[in-house]
Amino acid sequence: MARVRPTDEGDRNEARIAMIGMLHELTVATLELFDPRHSLDDFLARLAERVGCVAVLCLEAREDDGRSLRLLGAAGLEFASRGLPIPRLADESAPVAPLEIFDRGERALPYPELARPGLSRWLVPIPDASTARPARAILLYLDGEPRWSEMLRGMLRRIAALLDVALRHRQRDAEGREHERRLAAESLLLEAQIETSLEGVLVVSAAQEIVTYNRRFLEIWGLTDHDVSDASERKLAQACATQVEDREAFLARLRFLYQHPDARASDEIGLEDGRILERHSGPLRAHDGTYLGRAFHLTDVTRGKRVEQEREQLAAKESKSSLEAEAARRDHAFLAEASRLLASLEYENALVNLARHAVTALGDWCIVDLVDEDGTIRRLAVVHADPARAEQARALARYAPDPDAPRGVAQAIRAGRALVYSDISDADLSAATSGVSEERQTLARALGVRSCLVVPFSRREGALGAFAFVSATDPRRYGPREMALADELARLAGLTVENARLYRAKEEALRARDNFISVAAHELRQPVSSIALSLEVLARAAQCAGAERAPLPAPIPETIGRAQRLCRRLAKLTTDLLDVQRIGAGHLALELTEVDLAKLARATVHALGEELGRGGPRLDVEAEASVVGRWDASRLEQVVSNLLSNAVKYGGANPIAVRVTQTEDQARLEVEDHGIGIPRERLGQIFEPFRRAAAPRYGGLGLGLYIVRQIVEAHGGKVSVRSEPGQGSTFIVELPRGPRTVNT
Amino acid sequence: MAEEQGVELGLRVGVSSAGGAHAAAEEAVAQAMHDARDAVFALVLATDQYDAESLAAAVNEQLGLLPWAGCTASGVIAGGALLRKGLVIGVFTSRTLRVGVGVAGRVSTEPREAGVAATALAVAAMSSQTPHGTQALIVLPDAVRGNAAEVVRGAASEAGTGPAWTGGGSGDNLSFVRSSQFARGRAYRDHVVVVALGGAGRFATGTHHGYHPYGPPALVTRAGGAVAAELDFEAAFEVYRRTAAERGDEVSTAGFATFAMAHPLGIPQADGDFVIRDPLTTQPDGSLRCVAEIPDGTWVRMMEGSPDDLIAAARLAADQAKRAAGAPLSGALVFDCVSRALILGDDRMREELGAVHDALGADVPMLGCLTFGEVGALHHGVPQFHNKTAVVLGFSG
């Protein structure tokens, strides 16, 4: 069917009818847009259908820059096209005329449907009645070149004008709806926030009417919705006040807040049931500053307060524990250092050093007194923590303590326990020092005495001394901790003094013994020599008498022989004592010559065998032909003899083996017995003087092995022993062979 | 119906008038698939003599995995032939054509949303196979139950005016009771099926009806959906009757359907053309129920058209489609209003189809159906739902 061409009156009437029909239909459709349920797309689709368009767009110039367009609605575009961004006009500098934005912007539209060839476009501005400039426009796209009649153009302009009113109405309506939606959302959010708040919230209007409250508010006060919704603010306040400790103050505060709209409050309310509420209140004002009312926020802080209180107590406790631990650590370190300082036999110096160490921890200055063995109290030192006061302290130390003084060191020594003097006044000090010199009193005052701790140190035999720690400023410086610390110091000091004095006594005893040995040995040496000589004469006489005349009765030669053996033992004892004395004095001299140890050992064994006779143990010698070295022959003979005598003494009747071997630079002598052996715990003592491994019934002074060791070591060698109790012992002597520097 | 050698996009048509669904499907598919290569999609159009579910099962069985869609109609067209009872299947063959099918409901309650959804699904299904845009859309709404004009508006809002739009309302044997839409291998009711085509060929539609106005215009002063309650503030039937009477035609409520079939209402367009609205019945309150919506506030005209005008319009639609798609055509789809067939009678109807086929090209494969309303764009505008109109989709490539 061909399009109608208005070539005659009838056709024009038909066209007119069509236009009027379209105008009416589209006017109705435009009016429908006042109803927000109708969409602009529907209207544009209707327009596109009636006009026969490929597409119809409704565009808006964006208010923010006027250089870009926004698609308000469309017909003929596919859904995906509508979301495409419209590019902004280029050429920032050039001004854009009101309609130009649509004309130029249209060319940049991104919709592929409009790229179809042969499309024609008609721009219909939508005049804005409020600004008289087009902010929106309708763009109609048709396939081919249509014949736009003036009637159609006029109709569309009319529709556009109507559309402007509808669109502005829709915009305002949309804005209003959006505003309402936001308000509703904010209201909902606010309600939700208030309702879910952990704080109790109450909002009261400027007219003191209850506006809103939340669940938590009811919980805090133990109220119900009924209690609050039906109550005036005044009634509500009264109801709450009945639970408050200070009701009058609570109500007075409320009155003040209502009378002063700008007032803010942050305070705590104590309830009768023990709870504590934290209250914050502030005015509510509109954007224009109009006072709308007042909001109250209540928080039950009871638990928080309790927790805070418990936390503070715990912190204090922990702090105390920490301090105590720190104090204990310091005390431990302090005592450890004290022990180190006292580890000396020079105990007087040690005590002074201890006082210097302790004075900073236990006071400002310290007196150290000693009780000598005769019971005299002697002032050892006065030390001061401040080096600048050291001279004054030393001056005070020159004064001897009064052993009969009723207070102070003398009293503590007499009592045998620590004493504390607190709150010492000048009068007290004067009274305590009334019997002493003025200079001494002056010195004491100068150093300062406000409190004092005197702690004696004593052992079994009684008091050994005392420390007096003095605080120059603190009237109550000394408590249980200081006393405990001072007691421990005193215990250490007492131990030190006692040990040192015992050691000194032992040293003196040993010295006395050595003196005695030396004197005794010298005194014995001459008589023993004379006796031995006399016995030798007698023995020869008896021998000659037996050869020349009738032999003497048997007991006489035997007695002479026994007396000779006893004399030799006595001589050896004397020699040993002298050797010990020489060794102790460092006078053991060696005469080094070429000596054959093997030969010497064989000779010594032979001699001993002769002496022991048939009743003695079997003596075996295993020796190399010759073991030569530079040694002192007589001393080595003494070594071999002592070891053999030892083996005979403790070896019983068991055989004794003597072995002499050598290496390139060393000779080795072993003497092995199979006797009682040596207990393991005594192995370390047998080379010490006057020590014996066996019971006293075996006799001897316990010097033989000591002398062996001294002689061997004087040769640069060493002696050792292997022994099993009940199995016997083996003594091993190792001697360097070559010429060497030896101790003399 | 043979596929031309060297033609990339092809259409092979199979037809059957067998009474049973299985036999009909077997025969029609056998014809359509004979020597068919690169079959990509089948359009299935059937009269309502077949049980819809049975027919869907039978077609599934015959076509196997080949996607297909379609609807029921008052008659089916195969080439120049019209079958009052039968089944026609058109198989699209191509190596590059991509097809997407969407189906959505319910058009009786949410026609616009159904149109949007079915179109979106079809376009998405097709676009997932090819980056090319949609070239044609076949819209087959249930016109018995819903406002098909709203369905088409929804579809157009989704796909725009870029593609060639065609299709028609599914129908029955004029009892206006039920119609079926076929997609995803099954039958639907109260739905709309949309087929999106793209990736190959060139598609174009022609839309013409052949009616012209007479008598004074009448203003639709009260309307709702497809019901025109008042014209010029009077009962719509009374105005309709008076306008007919002024021409010497007496119209009673009893004879309204028969008279109205040849005298529809026309909604004027800016270019002088009319969108036809087909009044079906009068209602006790004097309102007129039409096949599609009557906009409130529009002016309507009484329309009439001679058989010659109608046949000429159908030829014009075919010419328009052929010109736009470019010769030679690979195939064509015809959606012709059932009322045109009733007006024309069998002989003139065959004449119309012959004219269409002749205009397209006697050897161009063609199929279609008699519809309850047609989908197409007048003069390349936005797609609309028409009545008493012939819509021809031609494609080449």
Q: Do B209 and A1 touch (CB under 8 A)?
A: yes
For chain B, percent of residues with pLDDT exceeding 90? 73
Q: What pLDDT does residue A697 have? A: 62
Q: Which residue of A has its CA nearest to B218?
A: A21
**Residues B150, B154, B156, B157, Cα dihedral to 10°:** 130
For residue B126, what pLDDT band results from cuts at 50, 70 and 90? Answer: confident
> Looking at beta carbons, which residues of chain A come within 8 Å of B134?
78
Q: What pLDDT does residue A740 have? A: 44
- Report DSSP state, residue A2: P
Q: What is the mean pLDDT of residues A698-705?
A: 75
Nearest to B219 among A24, A48, A50 (CB): A24
Q: What pLDDT does residue A469 have? A: 92
For residue B110, what pLDDT band results from cuts at 50, 70 and 90? Answer: very high
Burial A606-617 (b: 16+ CB within 10 A, else e): eebbeeeeeeeb
Per the CB < 8 A criterion, the answer to whether A597 and A628 are in contact is yes
Q: What pLDDT does residue A470 have? A: 92
> Looking at beta carbons, which residues of chain B come within 8 Å of A143?
379-381
Q: What pLDDT does residue B78 have? A: 95
Q: What pLDDT does residue B1 have? A: 35
> Looking at beta carbons, which residues of chain A come within 8 Å of B295?
25, 28-29, 46
Nearest to B272 among A3, A20, A113 (CB): A3
Cβ neighbour number for residue B10 with a 10 Å cutoff: 25
> In this predicted model, what pLDDT tens digit does every residue of B149-161 receive, in sequence order?
999 999 999 998 8
Per the CB < 8 A criterion, the answer to whether A583 and A687 are in contact is no
Q: Which residue of A has its CA nearest to B157?
A: A78
Among residues A699, A701, A644, the alpha carbon closest in space to that of A673 is found at: A644
- Chain A contact for B299, CB < 8 A? yes
The alpha-carbon gap from B93 to the nearest alpha carbon of chain A, in Å, equals 27
For residue A694, what pLDDT band results from cuts at 50, 70 and 90? Answer: low
Q: What is the mean pLDDT of chain A?
A: 84
The alpha-carbon gap from A148 to the nearest alpha carbon of chain B, in Å, equals 9
Largest CA distance in chain A: 209
Q: Do B298 and A1 touch (CB under 8 A)?
A: no
Q: What pLDDT does residue A698 have? A: 64
Angle ∠(B383,B386,B388) on CA atoms, nearest 5? 150
The alpha-carbon gap from B208 to the nearest alpha carbon of chain A, in Å, equals 6
**Helix, strand or coil for residue A374?**
coil
pLDDT value at A741 more than 60:
no
- Chain A contact for B303, CB < 8 A? no
> In this predicted model, what pLDDT tens digit does every residue of A61-118 receive, in sequence order?
876 666 778 899 999 898 888 888 888 877 666 666 667 777 777 777 888 888 888 8
- Chain A contact for B268, CB < 8 A? yes
> Looking at beta carbons, which residues of chain A come within 8 Å of B306?
none
For residue A451, what pLDDT band results from cuts at 50, 70 and 90? Answer: very high
> In this predicted model, what pLDDT tens digit does every residue of A305-341 receive, in sequence order?
888 888 888 888 888 888 888 888 888 888 888 888 8
Q: Do A79 and B316 touch (CB under 8 A)?
A: no
Nearest to A52 among B133, B220, B381 (CB): B381
**Residues of B (152-191) whose Cβ lies below 8 Å from A:** 153, 156-162
The residue among B298, B308, B385, B387 with the most chain A CBs within 10 A of its CB, best to mutate, is B298
- Chain B contact for A146, CB < 8 A? yes
pLDDT value at B6 more than 50:
no
Q: What is the mean pLDDT of chain B?
A: 91
pLDDT value at A582 more than 60:
yes
- Chain B contact for A1, CB < 8 A? yes
Q: Do B273 and A21 touch (CB under 8 A)?
A: no
The residue among A57, A78, A82, A147 with the most chain B CBs within 10 A of its CB, best to mutate, is A78
For chain A, percent of residues with pLDDT exceeding 70? 93
A264 to A254, A256, A538: CA distances (angstroms): 11, 10, 134
For chain A, percent of residues with pLDDT exceeding 90? 18
Q: Do A143 and B297 touch (CB under 8 A)?
A: no
User: Rounded to whole angstroms, how far apart are CA atoms B396 and A683?
Assistant: 125
Q: What is the mean pLDDT of residues A269-282?
A: 92
- Report DSSP state, residue A495: H
Q: Which residue of A has its CA nearest to B300?
A: A21
The alpha-carbon gap from B306 to the nearest alpha carbon of chain A, in Å, equals 12
Q: Do A17 and B217 touch (CB under 8 A)?
A: yes
Write out the two tokens for A216. 């938590």
Give me the sheet containing B181-183, strands edge to edge: B10-16, B87-93, B39-47, B68-73, B181-183, B186-188
Q: What is the mean pLDDT of residues A608-613?
A: 80
Q: Do B159 and A5 touch (CB under 8 A)?
A: no
From first CA to last CA, the distance across chain B in angstroms is 16
- Report DSSP state, residue A78: B
B129 vs B253, higher pLDDT: B253
Q: Which residue of A has its CA nearest to B112?
A: A42
> In this predicted model, what pLDDT tens digit does every residue of B234-274 receive, in sequence order?
999 999 999 999 989 999 999 998 899 899 999 988 888 89
> Looking at beta carbons, which residues of chain B come within 8 Å of A77?
160-161
The contacts of residue B167 (CB under 8 Å, 6+ apart) are: B137, B138, B139, B140, B141, B194, B335, B371, B374, B375, B391
Question: Which amino acid type is present at position A131?
Answer: T
User: Rounded to whole angstroms, how far apart are CA atoms B228 and B237?
Assistant: 9
The alpha-carbon gap from A141 to the nearest alpha carbon of chain B, in Å, equals 9
pLDDT value at A744 more than 50:
no
Q: What pLDDT does residue A4 have? A: 41
Element (H, E) at A213: strand A210-213
Global pTM reads: 0.55
- Chain A contact for B326, CB < 8 A? no
For the stretch B183-188, contacts whose Cβ atoms lie closer than 8 Å and that sit 24 or more positions apart, written own/partner, are B183/B69, B183/B101, B183/B102, B183/B103, B184/B101, B184/B103, B185/B56, B185/B59, B185/B60, B185/B68, B186/B53, B186/B56, B187/B52, B187/B53, B187/B55, B187/B56, B188/B103, B188/B105, B188/B142
Q: Which residue of B has its CA nearest to A117?
A: B162
User: Rounded to whole angstroms, how far apart are CA atoms A406 and A415?
Assistant: 11
**What are the helix (H) ranges across A549-596?**
555-585
pLDDT value at A368 more than 60:
yes
Nearest to A52 among B208, B297, B378 (CB): B378
Q: What is the mean pLDDT of residues A438-450?
A: 86
Per the CB < 8 A criterion, the answer to whether A568 and A630 are in contact is no
Nearest to B210 among A1, A81, A152 (CB): A1
Winning range, highest mean pLDDT, from A401-405, A736-740, B122-126, B372-376: B372-376
User: Rounded to whole angstroms, how far apart are CA atoms A539 and A559?
Assistant: 10
pLDDT value at A497 more than 60:
yes
- Chain B contact for A725, CB < 8 A? no
CB contacts < 8 Å between A and B, how many?
Answer: 137
Winning range, highest mean pLDDT, from A58-67, A474-483, A666-675, B166-175: A666-675
Q: Do B153 and A18 touch (CB under 8 A)?
A: no
Q: Do A79 and B275 touch (CB under 8 A)?
A: no
User: Rounded to whole angstroms, how far apart are CA atoms B327 and B317?
Assistant: 15
User: Rounded to whole angstroms, how far apart are CA atoms A256 and A370?
Assistant: 79
> In this predicted model, what pLDDT tens digit does every residue of B179-211 receive, in sequence order?
999 999 999 999 999 999 988 789 999 999 999
Q: What is the mean pLDDT of residues A598-604?
A: 92
pLDDT value at B5 more than 80:
no
**Helix, strand or coil for residue B115?**
helix
> Looking at beta carbons, which residues of chain B come within 8 Å of A33?
none
Per the CB < 8 A criterion, the answer to whether B206 and B391 are in contact is yes
